[in-house]
Amino acid sequence: MNDISAPEQYDLQTAALKVPPHSIEAEQAVLGGLMLDNNAWERVLDQVSDGDFYRHDHRLIFRAIAKLADQNSPIDVVTLAEQLDKEGQTSQVGG
C-alpha cells in the first residue's frame, strides 16, 4: 500500500502562502485609540484580545496596554514605553 504524503518543502511553501486576513492600519488605529482615550479600554476589553493582532509587536503592545489598564495606570507613550522596558520587550516592538 502506497502512503502518499506531500514533501516537507511543499508544506513549508504552502504554509508561507497562508496569510490570514489582516489590516496593519486597523491594528495601529486600535492601539493608538487606546493611548488617546484611556476610557476606550473598558469598551474593547471584551471584544479585542492580543490574538486578534496579526503583527507580533502589536500583540506585545496590546498586552502591555492591558497590564497598565489592570493596574489603573494611565496609558500613554511614556507609560507604555516604561512597561515594555520593564518586560524587556522594547527592542521587540522596534523601540
How does pLDDT run across 64-77, given as a tens digit for each residue? 999 999 999 999 99
34 close to 44: Cβ distance less than 8 angstroms: yes
- What are the distances in angstroms from CA 35 to CA 7, 58, 81? 47, 13, 12
Q: What is the pTM of this model?
A: 0.78
Answer positive or negative: Cα dihedral of 22, 61, 56, 53. Answer: negative
Q: Where are the domains of the chain?
A: 23-93
pLDDT at residue 8 in the model: 59
23-93 adopts what CATH topology?
Answer: DNAb Helicase; Chain A (1.10.860)
* Cα–Cα distance for residue pair 50/58, rounded to 1 Å: 8
